[in-house]
Structure 1
Amino acid sequence: MDIERILVSEEEEGIRLDVLLAEQLEDLSRSYIQKLIKDQLVTVNGSLEKNRYLVKTGDIIELKVPEPKELSIEPQNIPLEIVFEDDDLLVVNKPQGMVVHPAPGNYENTLVNALLYHCRGRLSSINGVIRPGIVHRIDKDTSGLLVVAKNDFVHRSLADQLKEHTITRKYHAIAMGNIKENQATIEAPIARNPNDRLKMAIVSGGRDAVTHIRVMERFIDYTYVEAQLQTGRTHQIRVHLSYIKHPLLGDDTYGGKTSKFNLKGQVLHAKVLGFNHPTSGEYMEFETVLPAYFEKLLTVIRNKMKTK
């Protein structure tokens, strides 16, 4: 059984116990942490506390994590849309609603489960058993292209390209409101939201984040855009569009709520992905069509709302 110890800083005072732990231990879901608290595997200064306990500066939190059930991460015969594959890597088009990798308490029906079946376990090991082959992630409710590494050499090469911002990543999205500029660059640092540790926010002193926006089509109440990532921070496009007062349609987390459409999450699709192949050195670029839900939504908006 692993033991995690956390010393609460002054900046973290007043945060709920379960929320703080979910932020500090990103590989553990909040629901799993709540279960550990209920099972009396979490103490604060040696005492048992509830999920809603508000931590104080100097608190010492000790969390006992049972041996991970990594052996339960089984290959599953889940259909995958494979855009490209060779002996080193594959590019997949992830559907909206699919989680990329397992987390404690959620070990099934993820992209990793499907990859383990398809690749017969031949995936890079750099990110451990829970995230084999996963070089970069997209949110559950974001659809689109991901590159997956089959060996550690390829994984390191792709990770270096991500770090150096040389991978091409273009997303298509529908934003709330009418963006007036045809093109714009949003440059604003991103970090954990100090008021809600499960969200990201524009924070002075956060990590540099740059997103390039190009308007594809305008409607009365919405704007269809292409967003190209220069950096790749958590929730970057969602946070940046919200920051300029044009949150993504369907993004409840960052202000894009709407009752007009039956959406399952933010309207965001990773449409273009380009990189240098780690073995051949050749630049490769892939593009997918918009998923059916996205195309249908565009048709509905076009029919009901005249463009300007």
Structure 2
Amino acid sequence: MKKIKIIVDENQKEIRIDKFLKSNIENISRNQIQKLTISGKVLVNQHTVKKNYKIKPLDFVEIEISNIEILDHLEYENIIAEKINLNIIYEDEDVIVVNKPAGMVVHPGFGNEKGTLIHGIKYHFQNKNLNDFNLYRSGLVHRLDKDTSGLLVIAKNEYSKKYLFQQFNSKTIQREYRALIWGNLLEEKGIITGFIGRDPKNRKRMTLFKKNEYYKGKYSVTHYKVLERFKYLTYVSCNIKTGKTHQIRAHFKYLGHPLFHDSMYGGNKIFMKKKCSNKNIEFFKNCLKLLSRQALHAISLSFIHPKNGKCYFYCPIPEDFKIVLQKCRKIFL
């Protein structure tokens, strides 16, 4: 069970709580919000409210959501299977490991009713005639942002799902990411920590709160190591000990080094442009066209398999990311 806490912005217009929560919580349905409200899982200023309650500026909202039941059974049943080419790295009777491409949304949600990874997974299992496969009882245990590429593990049964969830909750699953960030990091390696939560000025974006506002976010930890330096850019390896929304992206923004072409966090603009030569400016403009999304890739994943013990999976940097790295090496190394 996870608890989400939101302090309503002072400029927020009065709207129904279900509409407010739908726009402020990723991948939650109106149906699920209504069920949580009726069951007393939604509190405003520490009091239960009815589903027609209207949010007011500076209200303090708390909502408890199950880590396992992202959608209810009926909503999973209503997902229409779609034939989508999936890059399956590994599959057995308990788990499936997929290399998700950039641009693919993992889970259905508002504005993403079709074409998601889950739509493709449902088709994949139906096509294999797995009659006992239940998407509601199995499925996702973690996610990647739409424009982040790389490895995801999906459970194929209820036992595997709970088994993997326990590892995520106890932080024993190891995940390595590769990122290209703007600027030249001072240290060769380091740890970024802080309380991460939704930015009050833009609810689609995450931010790190100051110590006196820690209650607005959740504690997050990212370990990083510099792999290569390209004068104006740094190529890093990241290991996350917590898996918060936009964690790596928000952490490096906090350090003043947004990810290359991360438009939500300011990485779609040339960093230190005034110090760049015209030649370098044109070079970066070309690179931004070649890599038209944030430079972030989940390169490896390690966990304890429900039956087979410890396993490790790796998928190389995708072509768009790889080309930009190669061009940077030619120019700056």
Give the TM-score normalised by structure 2.
0.73
Q: For each residue in 1:261-291, what CA deviation from the matched residue of structure 2 results, as whole angstroms up to 9, or x when unmatched?
A: 11332110000100000123x1101111110
Q: Structure 2 counterpart of 1:77, which letter?
A: K
1:188-207 alignment, distance < 5 Å: 188-203=194-209, 204-205=214-215, 206-207=217-218
Where does structure 1 lack aligned partners over 5 or more consecutive residues? 1-7, 31-41, 46-53, 61-67, 127-131
* In structure 2, C-alpha distance between the alignment counterparts of 1:250 and 1:273, rounded to whole Å: 24
Distance 1:25 1:236, change over 3 A: closer
Alignment match, 1:27: 27
Q: How far off is 1:43 after superposition?
A: 7.0
Counterpart position of 1:216: 227
Q: What pairs with 1:1-308 in structure 2 (closer than 5 Å)?
A: 11-15=8-12, 20-28=20-28, 55-57=56-58, 72-120=78-126, 122-126=133-137, 133-203=139-209, 204-205=214-215, 206-258=217-269, 260=285, 261-262=288-289, 263-280=291-308, 282-303=309-330, 305-307=331-333
Q: Distance in 2 between matches of 1:154 and 1:80?
A: 21
Asked if the contact 1:175–1:248 (Cα under 8 Å) also holds between the matched residues in 2, the reply is: yes
Quote the RMSD (CA, aligned, Å).
Answer: 2.9
Question: SS at 2:218's partner residue?
Answer: coil
Deviates more, 1:221-230 or 1:12-21: 12-21
Q: Supply the AA of the counterpart residue of 1:290.
A: I
* 1:268/1:123 CA distance change after superposition, 3 Å: farther
| Residue 306 of structure 1, CA deviation | 1.4
Structure 1 residues 140 and 178, CA gap change in structure 2 (3 angstroms): same
Report the secondary structure of 2:264's partner residue: coil
Aligned in 2, Cα 1:82/1:96: closer, same or farther, shift over 3 Å?
same
In the superposition, relative to structure 1, how do residues 286 and 207 fare at CA in structure 2: closer, same or farther (>3 Å)?
A: same
Residue identity matched to 2:84: I
Offset of residue 58 of structure 1: 6.2
- Write the letter of the residue equivalent to 1:156: K
How far did 1:27 drift? 2.5
Alpha-carbon distance between aligned partners in 2 of 1:97 and 1:228, rounded to the nearest angstrom: 22
More deviation, 259-268/137-146: 259-268
- Cα distance in 2, alignment partners of residues 226 and 9 from structure 1: 32
3-state secondary structure, aligned to 2:181: strand
**In the TM superposition, what is the alpha-carbon distance from 1:257 to its structure 2 partner?**
1.6
Structure 2 regions of 5+ residues with no counterpart?
Answer: 31-50, 62-73, 271-284
**What one-letter code is carried by the residue in structure 2 that aligns with 1:73?**
I
TM-score w.r.t. length of structure 1: 0.79
Report SS of the residue matched to 2:122.
Answer: helix
| Identity across matched positions, percent | 39
1:20 Cα deviation from its structure 2 partner: 3.8
Q: Distance in 1 between matches of 2:103 and 2:111?
A: 17
Distance 2:191 2:25 in 1: 32
User: Per the alignment, in what secondary structure is the counterpart of residue 147 of structure 1?
Assistant: strand
Looking at structure 2, the residues matched to 273 and 74 of structure 1 have their Cα atoms a distance apart, in angstroms, of 29
Q: Which amino acid in structure 1 is aligned with residue 332 of structure 2?
A: K
Asked if structure 1 preserves the Cα contact closer than 8 Å seen for 2:27 and 2:107, the reply is: no
Q: Is the 8 A contact 1:154 1:279 kept in 2?
A: no
Write the distance in 1 (CA, Å) between the matches of 2:195 and 2:163.
26
Counterpart residue type for residue 112 of structure 2: N
Deviation at 1:94, TM superposition (A): 0.2
* Distance (Å, rounded) in 2 between the aligned partners of 1:200 and 1:192: 4
CA distance in 2, matches of 1:69, 1:88: 23
Q: Which amino acid aligns with 2:26?
A: E
